[in-house]
Amino acid sequence: MPQDLPHDRNAAHSWAIDETAARLEVSLATGLSTDEATARLAKYGRNELRRKEPRSITTIAAEQLISLPIAMLGASALLSLATGGIADAVMIAAVVAVNAGIATATERQAERTILGLANYAPQRTAVIRDGSRVMLDPSELTPGDVLLLGRGMLVPADARLLECDDFSVNEAALTGEAAPVHKDAQTVLSPAIGVPDRRNMVFRGTAITGGSGIALVTATGEETEIGRVQKLLGSVQPPETPIQRQLGDVGRELVLVNGLICAGVFGIGMLRGHGVVPTLRTAISLAVAAIPEGLPAVATTTLAVGVQDMRRRSVLVRKIDAVETLGAVEIVGLDKTGTLTENRMATGAVHVDNRFLHLHSGRLILDDESTGAAVVVRQLMEVAALCSEAVVTRAHDGLQIDGTPTEAALVETAIALGVEPVDLRLSAPVLASALRGDGRKRMTTLHQRVDGGRLLCVKGDPVEVLARCTTRQTSAGVKPLDEASRAVIFRANERMAGEALRVLGFAVGKDGGDPRDEQNLIWLGLAGLANPIRPSVGPALRRLHGAGVRPVMITGDQSATAFAIARNLDLNHGGELKVLEAGEIADLQPEVLAAIARQPNVFARVSPVDKLNIVKALQANGRIVAMTGDGVNDGPALRAADVGIAMGGEGSDVAREVADIVLATDDLDGIVEAIRLGRSTYANIRKVLRYLVSTNASETLAMLGAALAGSPDPFSPMQLLWLNLATDALPALALGIEAPESDILQKPPHDPKAPILGRDDFRRILREGAVMGGSALAAYFASGGLKGGARASTITFHGLILAQLLHGISSRSETRGLSAEFERRPNYALYNAIAASVGLQAAAQFVPVLRRFLNLAPLGATDLLGVGAIAVGSSLVNDILSRVDPWDRVSYPRSTISAGSTDDVQRDLYFGIGHGRAS
């Protein structure tokens, strides 16, 4: 083992391959030995990045005591002690302890949930050790390991390429550039160059988008480039989520407004000759009771509960911001294969020798006239079996095929037609290949023939393949490919695509020398593959339309196929369908593309870079875009979208790593469910906010009304503190886990740029607080409060608390009041919270020590009727007003999205767009 790793490993790109192996003391042929790897792992540490440790419970509890409301409570306690009110000071300390305890418990659980979002188990990595290929957990890699890299992987460590074939990597995680970077193993002579120019290096966390390669690990863990970036950032606190920032703004506004009101109460008390200390204590206690100090903690807890609820429903959240963003999603970009259609395919038809032949269960349906064409079909399927990345192995129960649905379906058809793919591949081994990629919609393989010659096999986009052909294979031999024959092939392609088949063209070349030199090919024919639409897609799309979310299909299929599938899906909900081919937008300016992107329902023939540009164009119109995907090529678009959604357990590591949401299945219902739960979480935070602000406003307005009327204060400082203790925390937390309302997907998405509470919301909240506070104040005056006395204060005290608790039930719905409770599903958490608060209130009345602390008087039957009148009366009045007040509406700034319309200039920009009305 080397004494130490080279200090200049960041210059490994400038080392020759042999020099790299020598510096790391490793044999490139056999890799590290197991013993050597174990020793290095012990010395240099596991290949892991430092994770932020959760805060201790002591730290969280201490942070609860550092806030403006707690400072106000502390000042009130000190004033109580200074004036001999030891019991008052003890009570204030108890309120602080209870509030801090609840906040600590809920915030600790929320933090654990949020930190758990980072838990992600990447796939094992192929490594050469002891001369053999082994699969290791990425954390077990150490400098000197020889990595085997392939398309669809996340690079597990920084490494120097030793050899590679058509190798490309997406380095957006480090450089921010979404376009794949082509790599080679050539030594870069200049040591002092940046990461983007180190073309012979691969870096941890980047995604392999094409080809394969072998690389030598030069750095692991915190010594990788991404580890160094993390160390530069340090263990900083994560930024607040948008909702937390909005709630912070609301809290500051409430502090200002209530501070002015409390100052007014203090000023009025002074003018009326009340004592300075009691009046000051009352004003401070009122300020503490009036300001909902727990808003940020409640928001975090509600988001965390939303994350847990989603996980129970197989919607895995990896970034907590995505929960609130889901509620604002307006456009969903849908990857066709695996999302709208099932993740399986079958060959349905072929077109060879100017004839259509259909297949059933892999068998050709032949008549007397088409028997000769079967020979050409077999040739086509032999090419399909050779020009393929699908792995075919012999198993005890037959052949096992491991590949994409398209390639697996073609190999299955070849087997059904009598082709033996394993023997065929052994007789014609691959010499070189050129895979699909950006700007290349075909795959080509070069094979060694038994007779010593070479065979070029080509499959891919029919237009691209046909353009490279000069002759065509017929049952009577090879014939020239004239314009008439080309026209027949084009019409056949359009017909098959119009039947919602995915169409591929096939050709061969004789004695080729380079798989990229695809000239003078022999055209074999077309194969059309059926991709069944998922049964659940239709209802799910209707739910998206009803929710004001515009679904957009983004696919690599040609326009006719994409149009046929969109028509069958009723993608535009009965409206006119518009399809835009991505090839026509490649050279457009971003602002022009943004204008065009408002219209199409389908984007066809797209590449990974096209997907990224389409997402950005949709966002440029001010829309919140979610993007689905499951492959490595979807990575850039998933990262760029406001919400990236990785589909299913069969997706690539890359898609899952960059996505904000990971669905356990490929079913579109999962997307609808994620949006529903995201909206519910946002709505629950609004409900909590409405409840806290309106109930606290009722206390402020009651105190202010009494001061203006010249009566004694209806509540003592201790009663105000008790009001805060008994009615705020538990009901608010229970509202945060409210189940989604039945009509939540019948409303448009909210505007994330708008404040969480709009002007009409505040108007409604102020009205509800005024009704509760006014009812309590009216009962106070009716009970003789103008002259003061413990009886009037006690009736008002109990009545307002019960009114606030009933208002918690009313706050369950954003549009309905208390009377709708019998029509809703029960929220037992809320009922239990209210029951606990009522029990606490009963203890305050019947436990002598608490009754003395709160200065409460005994209550008779008539007094209890007064308490009930405040609670029930205010709830009924608010319920009636919510039904008759034309301004009492929930603020939803966005309207339901429609495709809209474009002007003639924009319409003229379209080229190759299919139009039609869905049926």
Q: How far apart are CA 910 and CA 89, in angstroms?
A: 75
Which of these, 716, 834, 722, 704, lies nearest to 774 by C-alpha position?
704
Token look-up 């835009």 returns: 580
* Tokens (6 digits) for 516: 């990229």
In this prediction, residue 92 carries a pLDDT of 67
What is the predicted pLDDT for the residue at 896? Answer: 40
Distance CA 102, CA 415 (A): 66
Nearest to 608 by CA among 433, 440, 405, 387: 440
Structure tokens at 679: 């909206």
| CB of 221 closer than 8 Å to CB of 204 | no
CA distance linking residue 800 with residue 868, whole number of Å: 10
Per-position b or e across 385-394, b if 16+ CB within 10 A of its CB? bbbbebebee
Phi, psi of 628 (to 5 degrees): -105, 155
Class of domain 252-310+675-745+754-884: mainly alpha
CA separation for the pair 695, 875 (Å, rounded): 12
- Burial pattern 193-231, b for ≥16 Cβ within 10 A else e, equals eebeebbbbbbbbbbbbbbbbbbbbbbbbebbbbbeeee
Whole-number pLDDT of residue 632: 63
| Predicted pLDDT of residue 772 | 95
The CATH number of 317-342+538-664 is 3.40.50.1000
Q: What does the alpha-carbon distance between residue 157 and residue 171 come to, in Å, rounded to a whole number? A: 13
Instruction: Pick the catalytic residue from 88, 166, 335, 888.
Output: 335
pLDDT at 40: 92
Distance CA 541, CA 531 (A): 18
The Cα–Cα gap between 873 and 871 comes to: 6
Q: What is the DSSP secondary structure assignment for residue 501, as one 8-state letter?
A: E
Helix (H) or strand (E) run with residue 867 in it: helix 861-884
- The pTM assigned to this predicted structure is 0.70
Q: Which of 441, 448, 578 is nearest to 505 (CA)?
A: 441
Q: What's the rounded Cα separation, in Å, for the pair 147 and 545?
A: 47
Tell me, rounded to whole angstroms, the distance of Cα 829 from its chain centroid. Answer: 28
pLDDT (0 to 100) of residue 88: 64
Length of the chain as a residue count? 919
- The whole-angstrom separation of Cα 584 and Cα 337 is 22
The reply to whether 669 belongs to the active site is: no
Helix axis angle, 276-290 to 717-727, nearest 10° = 10
Domain residue limits, the chain: 9-47+141-233, 252-310+675-745+754-884, 317-342+538-664, 346-530
Q: Are strands 625-629 and 331-335 parallel, antiparallel or unpaired?
A: parallel
Quick one: pLDDT at residue 905?
A: 31
CA gap 671, 662 in Å, rounded: 10
Neighbours of 35 (CB within 10 A): 10
The fold of 9-47+141-233 is 2.70.150
How confident is the model at residue 606, as a pLDDT?
81
pLDDT of residue 915: 37
Q: Average pLDDT across each block of 10 residues of the chain; the chain has 919 residues. List them in order.
A: 57 88 90 92 86 70 67 67 67 69 66 56 83 91 92 87 85 66 84 82 85 90 80 50 69 75 82 78 69 64 75 76 83 81 84 89 68 88 93 82 86 91 93 78 90 92 94 93 94 90 93 83 94 84 92 85 86 85 73 82 81 86 85 74 77 67 79 86 87 88 85 83 78 85 86 81 90 93 83 93 93 77 84 92 90 88 91 90 64 42 32 35
CATH code for the structural domain at 346-530: 3.40.1110.10
